[in-house]
Chain A
């Protein structure tokens, strides 16, 4: 069965610090998709990224970057120069395909960025 582990339940950092949120996944599939989502205190969900298992290139989007390493089954998310607005719960997720087959979420990591 597919599984996503986010070992960090809560993280607190001071504004402008860099922070990495860990995501470790388990799957027997050779093709799969990994996702990150953000849920700010207001409660809405925000899609951040989707990555397929064939693309191990790191992704950077502004202050956000993702490090995908198949060798360690990890898909870590780094926020550079964190800001108070980054405070949220972040979810990592895994899907067998692009449609949602065997889609599982991790438990989430609550990030608090203090001013």
Chain B
């Protein structure tokens, strides 16, 4: 158990809908990262938040948005869903001490999103 939790584990929805994926980092970790894994695109980095602020943005579609709340949990919002958004969405957390070794990432179990 990495200590990172993601809910829900599975989500089935229809095209055009909107969903919210939730990630709770390990206690004390300030960074949250989101990744998408699909058969077509492989693994892709989506976005990184540190202590509530966006730090880096990857291949995140405009239909997707994320935020990190004061209690450090993060949510990934996916809207106007398309079939191609079906994927496994992982979040990871790290302590992310600047210049230090504390940037080992710990991954949650993932949320499997199926868009029908």
Contact = CB atoms under 8 A, between A and B. Distances in A.
Given A44-B109, A44-B110, A100-B48, 5 more contacts: A44-B107, A45-B35, A50-B104, A99-B56, A108-B42
B56 A101 contact: yes
Interface residues of A, number: 20
Report whether over half of chain A's contact residues are helix, strand or loop; otherwise say mixed: loop
Given A45-B90, A47-B92, A98-B103, A105 B44 contact: yes
Interface of B: 2, 33, 35, 42-45, 47-48, 50, 55-56, 58, 88, 90, 92, 103-107, 109-110
A99 B110 contact: no
A97 interface: yes
Contact of A99 (B42, B48, B109): B48
Contact of B92 (A45, A95, A102): A45
A47 B110 contact: no
A24 B67 CA distance: 33
A50 B50 CA distance: 18
B93 to A, nearest CB: 11
A43 interface: yes
A6 to B, nearest CB: 10
A84 interface: no
Contacts of B88: 43
